[in-house]
Structure 1
Amino acid sequence: MPHPPSVGRKLLWSIALPGLLAALVGLGHFWWEARRATRDATHDEAMVLAEFLGAAFRLPTPEGQAPHAPVASLLGARSRLVDTTAELNILSPDGRIRWSPRPQEVGQRHPAAALLTSPGPQWARSDKHQTEVLRPLGDASCEGCHPDAGTTPVGMLHLRVAEPAVHRELTDALGGALAAVLALGSILILAIGVSLHFFLTRPLRRLTAAMRRAEEGDLLVRAETGGTDELAQLGSAFNAMLARLTSMKAEEIDTHRDLQATRSKLSAKEELEERMADLALLFDVAHSLNSTLELPELLARITHLVPERLHIPDFSIMLVNAEGQLEVKSTFPEDPRLEGVTFQAGEGACGRAAATQRGVYVPDVGEPSSGYTQRDLRPGQDRGSMLCVPMVHTNTVLGVLNFQRPEVASFAPEELELLTAVADQVASAVKNALLHSEAVRLTLTDPLTGVPNRRHLFSRLELEVARAQRYGTPVSILMVDIDHFKKLNDAEGHRAGDEALRRVCDTLRGRVRKVDTLARYGGEEFMLVLSNVSKEDAYEVGEKLRRAVAESPLLASPTQPGGHITVSIGVATLPTDAPAQDLMVDCADAALYASKRGGRNRVTAYAPGMEVHPSRERGLARPHDPSAAHVAKA
């Protein structure tokens, strides 16, 4: 691309060229004025000379001389006129020469004849170097020689006067001066251009190059400062400015480095604060979740704590049920329509999270390619984002936490990490609750038959007795014992005995109310607590249970008398038979032994005096101790 004009060139064109043009214009003007003045002077001189010569032709011719001898003698005496007059002729009206200083031309047709259309007034014409005049001749003074002179012009005076040599020399001198001024101006322009190049343009280019490098970021460049002129002072000032800028840049670099370090520290501090907040949240979650081992209470706490602390407007907990399906256990906000809904592994976002044991994030559930199902969401909710995080404990999926927000792509990556950590905490808490439930179940449940054990039995019995005493209602108990159970164990083995216990328990459990408590009392004995049941009704219940066992095809046994397993039952009621729990248990135990003495496979209601029967006293250390009664029967 073409370089822009330099300062020197601009100065040259703005100073030298206008001066040269002014000189040329001035000299041209003077030349033109001199040329015009010369031409006017020649013209005036020709007119005066024509007038003078015209007057000379009117002079009388002396006797004995040629016509117009005074004119010839005048021309001979005044040689200057001859020198300045290029041509002098008297022309006839038809353009022929009638008189001329050169006699040989008389009678010839003059070239100026074309200008003589008819005699008229004086006419003059000036060109570049001469003036040509035509003047009519003839008046009353010429009648002596020319009869018609008074009425008709006798001819025309033709005069051609050349420009004086001095005038031409002056004009040529002015033209030479003009050329000299032009040449001198060109030399002056060249000299000024070279001077400006070396003393202005080149230093300015160097200074500009240094400035451009500085503009590009090279603050170590310096301009040349040779000399003491203004450019050198400008270069020194520029170098000083660069030095100051270099110092400021160094300070800026140091400040920027310190700022970066401070920013890094602040970022680390902010990140640490965020981590501390996350850890505090995880601690609060862990503390709140681990403060209870009851699964229903734990799920309730999770449902309310997680949405509140994590600002999740829609939350649900799913646990793996006995069939291996994901079942909704709790929701926030509470929605009974969703609780109990099940998903298969791989079904929907939650199913994929459980199948892959990895979190599944759906930024926009409204996208057809998101992979969610309508069952993943609440009814009428078709926009927003969803995050499903599995609860995994020792590579076992316990359930899935579902987080939903109405905004699209509203879960940040840091949140995903935090929610995964929360899911791990919840998984540990749920696992502990499940283990606790299992431990409680094993503690209060007989592991062989699945019914409550003796500890749970007496806890339940205490509650029923306290309720009966408070409200004045009866409570009855049935003591059930399998007949000839020792023979069954001896004949068929303990595995068959255990199976017989399970089948008898299943038969009894299937025929009692849900409010009643069936428990294993010990060995082959069971106890049934009947709330708000009289003695007569309790007896009927005992008969129903006895018949059910005796008639069950699952309880047939060739080693038992009659080929079938049977039971003996004793019935006691509070307050009819005893005023307290321990005495009521003793009464039921005595009634059971009465059934045994009566031939087994029967139901006996307690009657006074049964507890002092001689056969009972052999093994009873304390009649009110149920464990002692069990030992005596064995």
Structure 2
Amino acid sequence: MARTLRGQLLTYGVLAVLLAMVLSGAVGLIVVQARTRALLRTQMLSTAVALASGLEQGGPAQGQALLDTFRRGGGADAGYDAVVVDLAGRVVAATDLGDVGKPVDEAIGHAEPGLQRVLAGELPVAFEEMTHRGLPVLDLSLPLHADPVEAARITGGLHLSMPYRPFAPLVWRQVAALGLFALLLAALLVVPLWFYLERSLVRPLRLVVAANRDVGEGRPAPRRIPDRAMPHHELGELMRSLNEMLARLEAADGELRRRLRELSALSSTAVLLSQSAPLEEWLRQTLEKVLEITGADAGEVSLFEPGLQRLVVRAHQGFWPDWLTAEADRPTPTLCSAMAERRKFLSLEDVSQDEHRSRLAYVRKGLHGYCDLPLEAEGQVLGGLRLHSRQEHKPSPLEQDLLAAIASQIAVALMNVRLYQETRRLATTDPLTGLANRRVLEERLADEFRRARRYEHALTLIMTDLDHFKVYNDTHGHPAGDVVLRELAILLQGSVRETDLVARYGGEEFVILLPETARAAALVVGEKIRAAVEQHPFAHRETQPSGRLTISVGVATFPEGLEQPETLLHSADRALYQAKAMGRNRVYSSAL
């Protein structure tokens, strides 16, 4: 079967013509056969009536002579067989002399019930269709009377037989004539119909298919259908609608490509976030870009702060100066919070319809419609993005998809930053105490040592160690010991300045780095720490050998004969062990 519409129309047209010819031939055959049969009956009846009249007038003696004359006069050429029978059913005259004297059934080759009923006076005439020697035969029987006037007394009968075959060529000629007429009629109908369908259906549909193919192949400017090729019916309306759709699609494609370029620029800002830009600055730049892409008049980015069950505004653009203060003082929950809980896009054309009654001030500032988008990545809601416009506008599905893509970009970037910060924290923080680890200590010590040498500042390092801590662990277990270490870390962190560094050096040893601090001031800090630990109510401290938990403190200061960071660390370590050797729970300086 042809795949093109033109091929299918041609195929169906040819099939229709052939079907019309077959149907015309069949109908013609039936009609011609019916007319032929009617004609044969009429001819046979008139011939039989004429013969019967002659036989009745001439009597039985003239019957054979009359049939001979009938046979020589063309009856045999016309295919007629005629016999005259008496009431006993015996042939008394026949066109074939060999049949004379035979029973009628033997003479005509088959039983003839119609003739028997005619001889019995039951029928005035009998027509029967029989098959004789494989051919269809039409039989006619008439009664013969002794006196044409006295028709009541039957003396015999006349039987005529004639096959259809002599008339078969006439039948087929008429059938052929009807078939030719049907072919010409079909040609007269199909050819104009073909040209009409080609012009008004096939050609326009090819243009529609070509336009759709351009769209399917993603061409930026799909071909338009010329107005002159549009038919003046429903298909033309369809093509005009397709042209309008292509125009809108082309405009949308251009807008989408523009926004994709802007999204690409937006994604590039995510790289800046992971490099060096502070989070607030990156959020501010990103929000400016989002407002430019979406055409919104104002916007805000709020993030969930660790440890807080609410959103905190981290960036905003397009609001009045005291907007952030008004937001912070608002007692009712924000719709942004509701959005973050539901994790779905929310849009409201008129802010006065806000069920929280928290945004009515925006109306007075000319900001009506807004939409909220969750900043969600890896199943976690990090915050929300809210955009405001001065028009009561509901985003279309395409705009919602764009906004969702923007929110996804921001959320992924934020998640990456959090993962980076968490990875960096794990790499630089002691997991048990939360203090800086040994790696950070060594890097900070090298930096501070170079700074102290360059500017000729003092730099002091304090090393501490818990006294008899192994006894505590062996008595109460390591979980209890971990609790002591965490409490000690809090004490140490609270005893120094923000510029100082407290780090866990290993086990129960801690190091405090004091920039721009001389030895005398460092000894004061060390004594402060020792006293704070001695007085702290650690759990089970009474089980220690001295009845309390204590620490020993070693102090070393640059530049008192120390030329390298490592020597400063080793000097503080030696001072620590000297304090332990002197009885523990004391502060000792390497210069003492």
Shorter-chain TM-score tier: 0.5 to 0.7
Map 1:470-485 to 2 at 5 A: 470-485=454-469
- Which amino acid counterpart does residue 299 of structure 1 have in structure 2? L
Map 1:319-334 to 2 at 5 A: 319-321=303-305, 322-333=307-318
1:279 to 2:260 alignment: yes
Q: 2:369 aligns with which of 361, 377, 385?
A: 385
SS at match of 1:288: helix
Map 1:495-514 to 2 at 5 A: 495-514=479-498
1:577–1:587 contact (8 Å) kept in structure 2: no
- Which amino acid counterpart does residue 492 of structure 1 have in structure 2? H
1:257-286: CA deviations, max 9, x gaps? 555444443433333333333333333322
**Shift in alpha-carbon separation, 1:342–1:400, aligned structure 2, 3 A:** farther
The whole-number CA distance in structure 2 between the counterparts of 1:481 and 1:291 is: 43
Aligned to 1:348: 334
Q: 2:582 aligns with which of 580, 583, 598?
A: 598
Aligned to 1:524: 508
**Shift in alpha-carbon separation, 1:336–1:535, aligned structure 2, 3 A:** farther
The whole-number CA distance in structure 2 between the counterparts of 1:325 and 1:299 is: 19
Aligned to 1:437: 421
Q: Which runs of 5+ in 1 are unaligned?
A: 1-246, 609-634
The whole-number CA distance in structure 1 between the counterparts of 2:515 and 2:323 is: 35
Q: 2:411 aligns with which of 416, 424, 427?
A: 427
The whole-number CA distance in structure 1 between the counterparts of 2:363 and 2:430 is: 44
Map 1:279-318 to 2 at 5 A: 279-293=260-274, 295-318=279-302
Aligned to 1:370: 354
2:280–2:315 contact (8 Å) kept in structure 1: no
Using the TM superposition, give the Cα deviation of residue 337 of structure 1 relative to its aligned residue in structure 2, in angstroms. Answer: 6.0
SS at match of 2:430: coil
- Which amino acid counterpart does residue 530 of structure 1 have in structure 2? L
TM-score normalized by structure 2? 0.56
1:591-614: CA deviations, max 9, x gaps? 111111111111111138xxxxxx
- Which amino acid counterpart does residue 335 of structure 2 have in structure 1? A
The whole-number CA distance in structure 2 between the counterparts of 1:475 and 1:383 is: 57
Rg larger in structure: 1
Aligned Cα root-mean-square deviation (Å): 3.1
**Shift in alpha-carbon separation, 1:305–1:580, aligned structure 2, 3 A:** farther
1:521-573: CA deviations, max 9, x gaps? 11111111112111100011000001100110125524422121111111111
- Which amino acid counterpart does residue 457 of structure 1 have in structure 2? L
- Which amino acid counterpart does residue 402 of structure 1 have in structure 2? R
Instruction: Tell me how many residue pairs correspond in the alignment.
Output: 361
1:38-66: CA deviations, max 9, x gaps? xxxxxxxxxxxxxxxxxxxxxxxxxxxxx
- Which amino acid counterpart does residue 349 of structure 2 have in structure 1? P
Aligned to 1:464: 448
Aligned to 2:18: none
Q: 2:249 aligns with which of 259, 268, 271?
A: 268
The whole-number CA distance in structure 2 between the counterparts of 1:333 and 1:471 is: 47
2:460–2:557 contact (8 Å) kept in structure 1: yes
SS at match of 2:324: coil
TM-score normalized by structure 1? 0.52
1:445-471: CA deviations, max 9, x gaps? 111001111112222223322332333
The whole-number CA distance in structure 1 between the counterparts of 2:266 and 2:375 is: 15
| Percent of residue pairs bearing the same amino acid type | 32
- Which amino acid counterpart does residue 599 of structure 1 have in structure 2? G
Larger deviation: 563-572 or 352-361? 352-361
**Shift in alpha-carbon separation, 1:463–1:407, aligned structure 2, 3 A:** farther
2:230–2:236 contact (8 Å) kept in structure 1: no
SS at match of 1:403: strand
1:85-111: CA deviations, max 9, x gaps? xxxxxxxxxxxxxxxxxxxxxxxxxxx
The whole-number CA distance in structure 1 between the counterparts of 2:237 and 2:563 is: 91
Map 1:229-240 to 2 at 5 A: none
1:344–1:351 contact (8 Å) kept in structure 2: no
**Shift in alpha-carbon separation, 1:269–1:333, aligned structure 2, 3 A:** closer
**Shift in alpha-carbon separation, 1:341–1:575, aligned structure 2, 3 A:** farther
- Which amino acid counterpart does residue 285 of structure 1 have in structure 2? L
1:361 to 2:347 alignment: yes
The whole-number CA distance in structure 2 between the counterparts of 1:603 and 1:395 is: 52
Using the TM superposition, give the Cα deviation of residue 349 of structure 1 relative to its aligned residue in structure 2, in angstroms. Answer: 1.8
1:538 to 2:522 alignment: yes
The whole-number CA distance in structure 2 between the counterparts of 1:456 and 1:389 is: 39
Aligned to 2:197: none
Aligned to 2:71: none
The whole-number CA distance in structure 1 between the counterparts of 2:316 and 2:450 is: 38
1:556–1:563 contact (8 Å) kept in structure 2: no
Using the TM superposition, give the Cα deviation of residue 442 of structure 1 relative to its aligned residue in structure 2, in angstroms. Answer: 1.3
The whole-number CA distance in structure 1 between the counterparts of 2:329 and 2:342 is: 15
The whole-number CA distance in structure 2 between the counterparts of 1:535 and 1:583 is: 16
Using the TM superposition, give the Cα deviation of residue 472 of structure 1 relative to its aligned residue in structure 2, in angstroms. Answer: 2.2
1:547 to 2:531 alignment: yes
The whole-number CA distance in structure 2 between the counterparts of 1:548 and 1:376 is: 54
The whole-number CA distance in structure 2 between the counterparts of 1:342 and 1:441 is: 30
**Shift in alpha-carbon separation, 1:317–1:580, aligned structure 2, 3 A:** same
The whole-number CA distance in structure 2 between the counterparts of 1:264 and 1:359 is: 28
Using the TM superposition, give the Cα deviation of residue 483 of structure 1 relative to its aligned residue in structure 2, in angstroms. Answer: 1.4
**Shift in alpha-carbon separation, 1:565–1:267, aligned structure 2, 3 A:** same
Q: Which runs of 5+ in 2 are unaligned?
A: 1-227
**Shift in alpha-carbon separation, 1:523–1:355, aligned structure 2, 3 A:** same
